Structure 1
Amino acid sequence: MAQLKALLDNNVKDEQVYQKWYEDHPWVFGNSFLDNDNVRSISSSDNVDLMFPSVITGYRDLVELKRPDMEVLNFDNSHKNYYFTSEVSKVIGQCHRYLDVFQEEASRGLRDHPEIVAYHPKATIVIGRSHNWDKLKHNALHGLNRRLNCISIITFDQLLSQGERLIEIISEEYNT
């Protein structure tokens, strides 16, 4: 987690650097996934950033990585509410396509990888930073996520916190 924190603290913006880190540390996404797949191609023209098999079913879910310097939410003063930025809207559309294509292409397994099966897949988008957000902005992202179906948006800082908490839990269990 110190490596990820250092990347974020040093304002590293290269998606490939983060993709490599997440490939090497898939546990940061939680214990509901086994490991990440090496396969990235879900069709002849679509490649995803990360694909994880569920521990329970083996069905795959997708992760789309964007940059930590991208804004996640804007505030509309006239309506007094937060909304997704155009960057987030674009990646939601991208994931919508990926989920449709993946469901069609892998309902019985991908052509060259029959072990990779998609059945109502979900997508997680990792984008932006939230370390300096106030409670209202965190609540807004939570509320907007709750209204999405099969797609969730988390920030790099939220994923960092999740990883740190997983290490904390394991360390506590190991030390007792």
Structure 2
Amino acid sequence: MDAKIKGWKIVKTTINGQEYIQSATLKEGPRSKTTAVFFRNKHKTTDDYIISLKISHNTKDSRGWIIEKPDKTITLSNEQIDNLIAYIQENYAPLSLGENSYISLSDDNLSMVLRQVTELGLSDEDMVDKLYESGVLTTNLSIAITAAERKTVIQEFERNIPLDNSESFWQDWFGQQKWILGSDYIKILTERTIDEHHIADYIMQSVDGFLDLVEIKKPDLRFWTEPDSHGNYRPSAGLVAAITQCLNYIYRVERKADSDDFRERVGGVRTVKPKCMLVYGRSNDWNDKQYEAFRILNAAYNQINIITYDQLLDRAKGLLGMNTVQTYTIQTFDDGDDIPF
């Protein structure tokens, strides 16, 4: 016999050209056992593979294991194997868990069943409670549903970034998908007004319980000026204006921190050294020098964190395992070097 490696399994070939893999013992006792083995042949005219599963009953005597007569051996064809697998997948798990009744959902009746469930008139919270109580909605399934929903959101986010959407579009969109902004925030407060002249895009409650701000600008805004004669990049005029706006909002919030009116409007969330996230522009075509300049730019502000739409997208994908981390070569600077902006 010759053998060849296929994946992690060894497909062996008999001297008659019959391909097979090592048999598996389904059950074994002191005097008998049941085994299963896959065989593979090629159709004589189409060259398609024909897979067969042979299940045999074996007995043991002084000579060793002996395959029983044909009436105690069964060989299944491709179609029979597929049907058997489908039958096991559909029924084995609920039966092994002791269920006396369960729903078998096919592609044809899945939408009908879901529609009937939604027609019960329960609130989303009550529906989830009922599904948990019945054991239909497990923790793992709930996590999988959330992940699937968020993947859909990420795809929508990625489609919208290149489009000419308004700033108000993005303000509304992030308001519905707060998680994209990161895990630093617990919730978006309903209040947006800092004072009579200044209205923030979002006033947030951070994970440590304090008040922070988020400012949303459009993704198509220019981030850098053209590099100077030394190849250094500087923030565009629009970005400088947005940073100045954030600094002004932080200043205004700090002035209001001790105001009873402001504390009441923000639901009692405390204000101590508020920070501001600024979502601005794109970074999908940046080079290493631009990433270096961005790193240094962010390091220059203690209370502002600038992030691009592409970085938000990459971070969200990373949370769901949808992409790999991209690395960049970062240049170090001596005391005499120019900072690249």
TM over 0.5: yes
1:13 and 1:137 map into 2 onto residues whose CA distance is 25
Letter of the structure 2 residue corresponding to residue 46 of structure 1 = H
Q: Say which of 286, 297, 300 aligns to 1:147.
A: 300
Q: 1:104 is matched with which residue?
A: 255
- TM-score of the two chains, using structure 2 as the length reference: 0.46
Aligned to 2:227: 76
Give 1:108 shift.
Answer: 5.7
Q: Which amino acid aligns with 1:83?
A: R
Contact 1:27/1:35 (<8 A) preserved: no
Kindly report which structure 2 residues correspond to 1:41-52, keeping only aligned pairs within 5 A, or say none.
Answer: 41-52=193-204
Which residue is equivalent to 2:207?
55
Does the CA-based 8 Å contact 2:226-2:233 persist in structure 1? Answer: yes
- How many angstroms apart in 2 are the aligned matches of 1:146 and 1:91? 17
Q: How many residues align?
A: 167
Q: 2:284 matched to 1:131? A: yes
Residues 263 and 269 in structure 2, CA contact (< 8 A), matched pair in contact too: no
The structure, 1 or 2, with the larger RCO (C-alpha pairs under 8 Å, 6+ apart) is 1
The corresponding residue for 1:164 is: 317
Equivalences for residues 86-125 of structure 1 within 5 A: 86-107=237-258, 110-113=262-265, 114-125=267-278
**AA matched with 1:118:** T
Q: Is the 8 A contact 1:37 1:53 kept in 2?
A: yes
% identical aligned pairs: 29
Aligned mates of 1:24, 1:106 — CA distance in 2: 27
SS, match of residue 83 in structure 1: coil
After superposition, what is the alpha-carbon deviation per residue over 1:128-149, rounded to whole angstroms, capped at 9, x for unaligned?
1111111221221111111122
Q: Which 5+ residue runs of structure 2 have no aligned equivalent?
A: 1-153, 323-341
Runs of 5+ in structure 1 lacking a partner?
170-176
Measured in 2, the distance between the counterparts of 1:107 and 1:50 equals 20
Kept in 2, the 8 Å contact 1:108–1:117? The answer is: no
Runs of 4+ with >6 A deviation: none
Q: Which has the larger radius of gyration?
A: 2
